[in-house]
Amino acid sequence: MPLKLFFSDDNYAAKLALILDKARSQDHDVTETVIKIINDVRLNGDEALIALTKKFDSIDLMETGFQVTQNEINIAKSEVSEEELAALKLAADRIELFHAKQKPQDISYVDGQGVGLGLRWNALTSVGLYVPGGKASYPSSVLMNAIPAKVAGVRRRVMTVPSLNGSLNPLVLAAADLAGVTEIYRIGGAQAVAALAYGTGSIAPVDKIVGPGNAYVATAKKIVYGQVGIDSIAGPSEIVIVADKENNPEWIAYDLLAQAEHDTAAQSILITDDKDFSDQVILAVDSILNSLPRAEIARKSWDKHGAVIILESLDDAPRLIDTLAPEHLELAIDDPAKLVDRISHAGAIFLGRYTPEAAGDYVAGPNHVLPTNRSARFSSGLSVFDFLKRTTLVDCNKKSLELIGPAAITLANAEGLNAHAKSIAIRIKQNK
């Protein structure tokens, strides 16, 4: 059963701390193994990729080739139904439109001292898009990772995906083609991350690696960070739903289970101000669970990590939400605007009774790659900005340097950096 706590309980704070402090990651420490894999790929390149792929994915890259061909992509697309392709196209169009509106403007002006100042945005040259394989084949994640990179102007968009026993998900390949991925390699795991970071004979290195993966992939991303950029280290999925008694309990139950079915370490939390409604939702969850194909996963998640919090008033919800800093937040109430302006920490917020989080996973438009494990306190979801970098511009003439230079000389001397001071002084003929 999920943890149930009332705001009025004497031990409310202690129970809430259990939710915040409970470790949900089931990943064991694989650092030593991952370091060996990365070093192998750095030292032996393609030879290591061939051996590791044969070991972990049971395919021979010498026979299949490293790169997925356009003919393979075309065949995969032919195996996808027209309905699925249309759904992918709708999702891709909406994601691209939303992310296109994020593109920032350059800055250029001359200040009061005559100094020309500016800021210029440039796209990264190349990115690696890691896509999980096997049971976790998510074409929606391909769209969410690849389209912002394309919108940002990244020229080389490289996807790696494990091909377990030679099999690649047709929808994943169709999504990659639709999202404008420029290269696809049938390689997964830590070895794929190493190949993207350092390059091999067949795969050129990239500037940044994004996308979810298992413990080996997450650990590899941590290790190669600095050689390349990374997006984040994603934890198990999570949702907080604020709902009053006017909701259909079954709707809310499905929303909670939509997160629980992701992973046994996922977390679903209901916040309400009505005990009877919370009981109805719990009963609905129990009833629905038996009908889900992923019932075993969802049940473990709900029983081990689920929580129901009953507040005296939903006006108290924003402070609790900011403490939880959830990846996903649903405000299933009549006037969500009354609460949303008081909330600072949430990866994505879904407003009203007819905006289930699942819509955001696929077709709403904003990115579904979001901060987990309370990192919404200091980070944001994937966006066009993750594929751009800023360069500042400074343009002084003699007169403007004479106006601002003396202060710089004073500060340089105060820091004991004489050459800094002299490099300015020599230009404005100031002997200091």
368 lies in some domain: no
Please indicate, yes or no, whether residues 244 and 264 belong to a single structural domain of this protein. yes
CB burial readout 192-221, b (16+ within 10 A) else e:
bbbbbbbebebbebbbbbbbbbebbbbbbb
CB atoms within 10 A of CB 144: 28
End-to-end CA distance of the chain: 74
Q: Which two tokens stand for residue 339?
A: 């609460």
Contact assessment for residue 173 and residue 77, using Cβ atoms and an 8 Å cutoff: yes
- Position 275 pLDDT exceeds 70: yes
Asked if the structure places residue 242 within a domain, the reply is yes
Do 309 and 262 lie in a common domain?
Answer: yes
pLDDT value, residue 37:
98
Given pLDDT bands bounded at 50, 70 and 90, which one contains residue 339? very high
> Which of 191, 210, 230 represents a domain boundary (last residue)?
230
For 179-207, write each residue's pLDDT tens digit. Answer: 999 999 999 999 999 999 999 999 999 99
Q: What is the pLDDT of residue 432?
A: 52
Q: What is the per-residue pLDDT across 344-366, written as a single tens digit (0 to 9) for each?
A: 999 999 999 999 999 999 999 99
The verdict on 82 and 40 lying in the same domain is yes
Residue 165: predicted pLDDT: 85
Q: What's the token pair of residue 202?
A: 């067949």
The closest of 344, 380, 350 to 362, measured between CA atoms, is: 350
Is the pLDDT assigned to residue 412 strictly greater than 60? yes
In the predicted structure, residue 157 carries a pLDDT above the cut 80 = yes
Q: What is the pLDDT of residue 14?
A: 83
Residue 183: predicted pLDDT: 98
Is residue 147 over pLDDT 80?
yes
Q: In CATH, what number is assigned to the domain containing residue 405?
A: 1.20.5.1300
Please give the Cα distance from 184 to 304 (Å, whole number).
38
- Domain membership of residue 374 (yes or no) is no
pLDDT at residue 50 greater than cutoff 60? yes
| Same-domain pairing of 90 and 191 | yes
Active-site position among 261, 327, 330, 357: 327
CATH code at position 295:
3.40.50.1980
Same domain, 19 and 161: no
Residue 285 neighbours by CB distance under 10 Å? 25
DSSP assignment of 272-288 equals ES-HHHHHHHHHHHHHH
Contact 85, 175 (CB under 8 A): no
Examine residue 380 and state whether it is found in any structural domain, yes or no: no
Average pLDDT, the chain: 94
Query: Is residue 248, in this structure, part of any structural domain at all?
Result: yes
**Residue 377 placed within a domain:** no
Q: How confident is the model over 309-326, as pLDDT tens digits? A: 999 999 999 999 999 999
Same domain, 264 and 240: yes
Q: Does the structure show a pLDDT above 90 at 369? A: yes
251 and 324 part of one domain:
yes
Containing domain of residue 133, as a range? 31-230
Mean local confidence (pLDDT), 248-271: 96
Considering the domain architecture, whether residues 220 and 287 belong to the same structural domain is answered as no
Single out the residue in 183, 199, 230 at which a domain terminates.
Answer: 230
Same domain as 145, residue 40: yes
Residue 431's pLDDT is 58
328 is catalytic: yes
More confident call, 14 vs 378:
378
What is the average pLDDT across 11-16? 84
pLDDT band with cut points at 50, 70 and 90 for residue 27: low
| Domain match, 242 and 217 both | no
Q: Is residue 183 part of a domain?
A: yes
Of all residues in the chain, the percent with pLDDT exceeding 70 is 97
Q: Using CA atoms, how far apart are residues 219 and 257, in angstroms rounded to an integer?
A: 28
Q: Does residue 405 share a domain with residue 257?
A: no
Q: What would the pLDDT profile of 59-117 be if each residue is shown by its tens digit?
A: 999 999 999 999 999 999 999 999 999 999 999 999 999 999 999 999 999 999 999 99
How many independent structural domains does the chain possess?
3
SS3 140: helix
Say yes or no to pLDDT of 140 above 90.
Answer: yes
Per annotation, catalytic residue among 99, 328, 345, 368: 328
**Range 268-287 average pLDDT:** 97
If one compares 104 and 134, the residue with the highest pLDDT of the two is 104
Tell me the Ramachandran region of residue 248: left when phi exceeds 0, alpha when psi lies from -120 to 50, beta otherwise. beta
pLDDT(26) > 70: no
Cβ atoms 286, 308 nearer than 8 A: no
pLDDT value of residue 25: 64
Going by pLDDT thresholds of 50, 70 and 90, the confidence category of residue 29 is confident
Q: Is residue 322 part of a domain?
A: yes
Token pair 């101000």 is found at: 273
Indicate whether 265 and 285 sit together in one domain: yes
Domain boundary (173, 198, 230) is at 230
